[in-house]
Structure 1
């Protein structure tokens, strides 16, 4: 439902031509026409309602309530210029009519008279305590600020509206437009005031990276390093982009080793960059260089104790080194951070299996299977969370073999078996793209450029 229809449902309670008003005008005909107009309006027969109130205003041109009512009907019909004339006439006759000034401001906004509408909308928005009216006036105020080029004020109103109406589709739609417009204008201004700065090259690199233009992104990041060789976070971003390039082609065998060098260089500049340590460790882990991987995962967790993916990676690396008992702690902590991490539950089942703890192994496996079904449904519906770092995944072949071993150890547990009729096989593992989410959130205030998927910087600053 559009803003004006929701608003008028509320305003219609406030601007009513009552029988007493019609009687005061000295005409039974006025009373009859007003009743016809109200009935037509209630039934959403807007043309009939307008016709009735036009006749009322013709018979009683100085009845402020009738003029306001007619302006409201015109507004609801989208005849905004006529609404402006009727509402202005109503306020001339009776300036104290409730909410009529706000409705006039909204009508003026609709016809593009933003400067005249602004003061009416600002006053009406601030004074309103009714959720419906505040929402509608706020959306119109956004429009007026944007139309006048006062983008910072439009953003302020948008932030308040998204706080007040966090699940309102129309509010969220306009928020996306306004935030996107403000980001664009900020970047344009950056290009004007500092065309050769590292900040513009960083912005260009991030934009190219988010669009999958890896070569252009790397070039922009290299230009940053040419200006500021020890800039924290830039080598990490280059490494991250190289990993994205490696995923684009199975024949690319050079990008991942290059990425490792970039992550290592980042750690020489900033040892606290947990994301760089994690990505470097993940490359070592996939190469079965488990001792090196463990050191890097431990470094990541040291600087960012709640780094979920690093905790899972550390746990599975300890498993690979035969240290199942030590693996329990990081795996359990990762689950405490995100109980829906299916990889963590599967690795936990592996750890308990290695320890001979069948009861705990079975619990972990059951939760893994439940989450796997949930992930399949989310994948098919497109509801996939975005990640700043490489997600921990399960190797399809290894998973199949490991599940076979687990089920062989517990043949009496039919509820843990994979039934072919349910097709709960490995559909969601067929595409690595499910686990590797391209693109990332941007946090330009982070010096190291290493925001985790949890929304926190590796230096533990909260944004």
Structure 2
């Protein structure tokens, strides 16, 4: 009996030793395959690395490194269908692999798995840092959001990409197209939901004004005011249109609308700014200064408010404060050519010729750019109304 017990323990020891040796051997094999795979990657031989990662997964299917690397290699070989399960396993085994999840979304898009693609791209996109890859992922996501009719999400992705590449023509067109579609969608929905509302007349007025139909636009603004005289922003929009009108009677009526806007909303910075401009035109510099100071306080990120306040300060012979506001205006909007021109004059008066010449070059550059834009809008019969008052006191 004792011999049987000893023999039994001996077999158990032999079994456990064999198990330990086989486990160690498997781990050693995994490490050897991994070393060879990464050596092949350094040699830029993905064709040789792929079998090594496959061998690792035959020994350990839960190896996240091998799953991810194999998925990446298959993706860039163009075998998207084969790449998807490996990339998906890597993301499942190790959440937070955002580049891997983004590649998974791209692979899913290329095998027409739109639902999973969109979910993976949406999850990964905010976490991507490399601009070129983020751009590629974002464009696919925009296409998928647009195809599904989710224009709001598409617009958000475009805005994120434009923050990185603000002058990219393709992105700018996407932004224009998507936001135009959003505006059209909102207009149709509003027309169906509330065709006789003040808001519907306000939308009609804005569209008519954009296309130069001033009389019809004014009529729709007045109809909107009759329906709801306390609708925020309504009086200010009408005031802007009247202020920039070619008709003297309309221009004279603008002040009353800006005052009405402040009666509805005392924090309407645009209305304060326009009342300041009207006061400056009348030569009431103190009133202009007070309105424009309040406008600058209400809209601290408005370059227009800074520039207009600086103009009034110059008329009041306070050049030091005017310079501060002009420099602030350019910080907020480097394309504000009126601010560049006035800084050029101030620097020249101070004898700072180098700084003055720089501001003069900036003025010429941005003025030329905006003249070209103005011509484009004119050709499209779109009336912008921007910078009309600002230009009035500039030399030809």
Q: Same fold (TM over 0.5)?
A: yes
Indicate how the Cα distance of structure 1 residues 202 and 120 shifts in structure 2: closer, same or farther if over 3 A, else same. same
**Cα distance in 1 for residues equivalent to 2:385 and 2:249:** 24
**Cα distance in 1 for residues equivalent to 2:345 and 2:232:** 33
**Paired residues of 2:261 and 2:268 also in contact (CA < 8 A):** yes
Residue deviations 1:90-111 (CA, integer Å, cap 9, x gap): 7689986988854542324xxx
Select 2:362's aligned residue among 374, 379, 382: 374
Indicate how the Cα distance of structure 1 residues 105 and 364 shifts in structure 2: closer, same or farther if over 3 A, else same. same
- Corresponding position: 1:18 with 2:27: no
Indicate how the Cα distance of structure 1 residues 368 and 197 shifts in structure 2: closer, same or farther if over 3 A, else same. farther
**Cα distance in 1 for residues equivalent to 2:50 and 2:327:** 67
Indicate how the Cα distance of structure 1 residues 297 and 237 shifts in structure 2: closer, same or farther if over 3 A, else same. farther
Identify unmatched segments of 5+ residues in structure 1.
1-12, 25-63, 73-85, 247-251, 319-323, 350-359, 397-428, 431-463
Deviation at 1:197, TM superposition (A): 2.4
Indicate how the Cα distance of structure 1 residues 301 and 365 shifts in structure 2: closer, same or farther if over 3 A, else same. farther
Aligned counterpart, 1:255: 250
**Paired residues of 1:260 and 1:283 also in contact (CA < 8 A):** yes
Equivalent residues, number: 301
Aligned counterpart, 1:309: 307
Aligned counterpart, 2:219: 219
**Paired residues of 2:105 and 2:116 also in contact (CA < 8 A):** no
Q: Secondary structure at the match of 1:314?
A: helix
Indicate how the Cα distance of structure 1 residues 298 and 92 shifts in structure 2: closer, same or farther if over 3 A, else same. closer
Aligned counterpart, 1:141: 141
**Paired residues of 2:273 and 2:295 also in contact (CA < 8 A):** no
Aligned counterpart, 2:22: none
**Paired residues of 2:344 and 2:356 also in contact (CA < 8 A):** yes
Aligned counterpart, 2:66: none
**Paired residues of 2:83 and 2:107 also in contact (CA < 8 A):** no
- Give matches, 1:198-213, under 5 Å: 198-213=198-213
Q: Secondary structure at the match of 1:222?
A: helix
Aligned counterpart, 2:123: 126
**Cα distance in 2 for residues equivalent to 1:371 and 1:91:** 55
**Paired residues of 1:312 and 1:330 also in contact (CA < 8 A):** yes
Aligned counterpart, 1:333: 324
- Corresponding position: 1:299 with 2:291: yes
Residue deviations 1:125-161 (CA, integer Å, cap 9, x gap): 6357573444323321221221122333333443444
**Cα distance in 2 for residues equivalent to 1:272 and 1:91:** 54
**Paired residues of 1:331 and 1:348 also in contact (CA < 8 A):** no
Deviation at 1:240, TM superposition (A): 1.2
**Cα distance in 2 for residues equivalent to 1:297 and 1:167:** 36
Deviation at 1:226, TM superposition (A): 0.8
The answer to which structure, 1 or 2, has the higher relative contact order (CA under 8 A, 6+ apart) is: 1
- Corresponding position: 1:275 with 2:252: no
Deviation at 1:204, TM superposition (A): 2.5
**Cα distance in 2 for residues equivalent to 1:189 and 1:19:** 56
**Paired residues of 1:281 and 1:294 also in contact (CA < 8 A):** no
Residue deviations 1:252-307 (CA, integer Å, cap 9, x gap): 43332232343344455555544334434434543xx323x531431331353453
**Cα distance in 2 for residues equivalent to 1:281 and 1:94:** 61
| Superposition TM-score, scaled by structure 1 size | 0.52
**Cα distance in 1 for residues equivalent to 2:245 and 2:280:** 20
| Superposition TM-score, scaled by structure 2 size | 0.59
Query: Between Structure 1 and Structure 2, which shows a larger proportion of helix residues?
Result: 2
Indicate how the Cα distance of structure 1 residues 366 and 392 shifts in structure 2: closer, same or farther if over 3 A, else same. farther
**Cα distance in 2 for residues equivalent to 1:278 and 1:190:** 31
**Paired residues of 1:104 and 1:117 also in contact (CA < 8 A):** no
**Cα distance in 2 for residues equivalent to 1:227 and 1:14:** 71
Identify unmatched segments of 5+ residues in structure 2.
1-42, 55-69, 91-99, 331-336, 375-383
- After superposition, the CA RMSD in angstroms is 4.4
Max Rg structure: 2
**Paired residues of 2:242 and 2:253 also in contact (CA < 8 A):** yes
Deviation at 1:21, TM superposition (A): 5.2
